[in-house]
Amino acid sequence: MTRTTPPDQSTTARLRAEHGSALTLGEDCDLPDDLVVEISPGGQLTLGDRVSVRRGSTIQVHPGATVAIGDDVAIGEHTFISAMVGISIGAGAALSNMVDLHDHNHRPRTVSNAPDGELVPWASGFEGAPIVIEPGAILSNKTTVTAGVRVGANALVGANAVVSRSIAPDTVAAGVPALPRRTFDGVPAPREDPRTLTVGFFGTSIMEHLEAVNAQMTAQADLPEIGSKVTVEGWSQRGWVHRLALSLRATWPHIGFDIKNHGEGGATSRDIVGIVEGDRATNGTDYDLVFLGVGINDVWRRFQNRTSEAVELDEYTRHLTGMLDQLSGYARRIVVVSETPFGPIEDPETVTAMNAELARYNAAAAQAAAAHGALFLDVWGPFTTAARLGGHPAGLWSDGVHLTELGDTVLLQQAERLLAEHRIVEKLQDYPLLERHAALTAYGPMFARYRTGGV
């Protein structure tokens, strides 16, 4: 970029003259004479008050992208910041010398990405996702932060680290890739645009788990007298889904969890197909994580002699495959949950026959999950073990189908184990990489307030 301003002008005056409304500079910034700022058409760079940048640094904003640097941020020597989507650096954060922030990568040179086979570096295009450095975070010398990563408030990243996964607030991380080493009690820091994960549940009453509600029953300071009567005022969803939601919020308090429980009592796979389609058509929700469990009513209806409502295995498989096809288009991670076995609901021989049939449906669910790259949570074994060793087999079920608190706990523990084993929540904290232009559209609202005119 050619400079047209006199060489004796201050750096701030030079930058304002070069970039006009594409650049917003706060008060009392300390910027070196050799600071390189490149802002392409449609790009926006915002610096807050008292931002300090040392010599040899470059800030590069590609078309349509945004770089937002908060108040009292310190940036060391020879640091390189390059945005094709958006990079935000929160107030009071520090980037030491030779830190590199790139919110984009070259896409692989596949036939679809480079159909003409042109031998130039940019022929395959780019993919990108935001980088968010929260307030008070410190990146030590030669730290590299890759696209889609969020570094939490007050986090301290050791020298030479490569941050390719998000780091929680109040955490010391180091290494290649950077991994948490320890946590500490951090000072209060503002939380701007906290990460929110949307988690959906599609299934039967085992997911829905309705309980009667009266406000007085949950007010510890105003519980009703023993022997008195209360009126059912409504219904609330509880069970293992509710408890898993609480567990997620307790384990990752810095993340927001938007829980959408679409479980429906009595639903067969025919019904749940409609629920999945209706949710997408009505709400258009993109999910970070989906739990899908269905099949118990498909089998049970036959043994209840409600044959018109029963769903044969072939039809069940078609329904499940269709739901997985659809959900795979807008859910980042899918977990197919096996159905829990039937408990003492009929005579032992009938229950054995019911479970033998239900096992066939679970096997089909496992195959469908594998074919779609989904995880399969097999809770059958833990339930049968708990029933066999617990001394009171009926203790897992309230009526042979629906779960007691003990049954909910068994299912909850298996769900938590799966999430921990595959580090699902940790990985979902990262922003998904998208084709460059799609990323600008998808993530644009995150940076709207930093742009001239709020667009």
pLDDT at 9: 62
Which helix (DSSP H) or strand (DSSP E) does residue 206 occupy?
helix 205-208
Residue 60 sits in a domain whose CATH number is 2.160.10.10
- Count how many residues are written for the chain: 455
Question: Residue 342 — very low, low, confident or very high, per pLDDT cuts 50/70/90?
Answer: very high
Average pLDDT of the chain, as a whole number: 92
Look at phi and psi of residue 382 and say left if phi exceeds 0, alpha if psi is from -120 to 50, else beta.
alpha
Residue 166 sits in the same domain as residue 31: yes
The two structure tokens encoding residue 82: 């390059």
Does the residue 31 lie in any domain? Answer: yes
Does the residue 181 lie in any domain? Answer: yes
Residue 177 sits in the same domain as residue 237: no
Residue 57 sits in the same domain as residue 139: yes
Distance CA 358, CA 379 (A): 13
Question: Residue 370 — very low, low, confident or very high, per pLDDT cuts 50/70/90?
Answer: very high
Does the residue 167 lie in any domain? Answer: yes
Q: What is the mean pLDDT of residues 117-122?
A: 84
455 closest CA partner among 12, 21, 17: 21
Residue 189 sits in the same domain as residue 227: no
Reported pTM: 0.89
- pLDDT per residue over 29-88, tens digit each? 999 999 999 999 999 999 999 999 999 999 999 999 999 999 999 999 999 999 999 999
The CB-side HSE value for 6 (13 A sphere, CA atoms) comes to 3
Does the residue 366 lie in any domain? Answer: yes
Question: Residue 230 — very low, low, confident or very high, per pLDDT cuts 50/70/90?
Answer: confident
Residue 118 sits in the same domain as residue 58: yes
- pLDDT per residue over 328-338, tens digit each? 999 999 999 99
pLDDT at 115: 86
**What's the total number of domains in the chain?**
2
Q: Which of 150-164, 320-334, 335-349 has the lowest mean pLDDT?
A: 335-349
Residue 212 sits in a domain whose CATH number is 3.40.50.1110
Residue 158 sits in the same domain as residue 269: no
Question: Residue 454 — very low, low, confident or very high, per pLDDT cuts 50/70/90?
Answer: very low
- pLDDT per residue over 380-419, tens digit each? 999 999 988 876 666 899 888 999 999 999 999 999 999 9
Handedness of CA 312, 315, 317, 320 (dihedral sign): negative
Residue 339 sits in the same domain as residue 377: yes
Q: Which residues contact 393 (CB under 8 A, 6 or more apart)?
A: 343, 344, 387
Q: What is the mean pLDDT of residues 419-435?
A: 96
Q: Could you say which of 193, 212, 244 is where a domain stops?
A: 193
Is pLDDT of 116 > 80? yes
In order of 32, 75, 91, 98, the CA distances from 50 in angstroms are: 13, 11, 10, 21
Residue 181 sits in the same domain as residue 246: no
Is pLDDT of 3 > 50? no
Does the residue 303 lie in any domain? Answer: yes
Q: Could you say which of 145, 166, 193 is where a domain stops?
A: 193
Residue 171 sits in the same domain as residue 56: yes
Residue 173 sits in the same domain as residue 56: yes
- pLDDT per residue over 165-212, tens digit each? 999 999 999 999 999 999 999 999 887 788 999 999 999 999 988 777
Residue 73 sits in the same domain as residue 217: no
DSSP class of residue 396 equals G
Residue 187 sits in the same domain as residue 221: no
pLDDT at 201: 98
Does the residue 436 lie in any domain? Answer: no
Domain that holds residue 380: 196-428
- pLDDT per residue over 99-112, tens digit each? 999 999 999 989 88
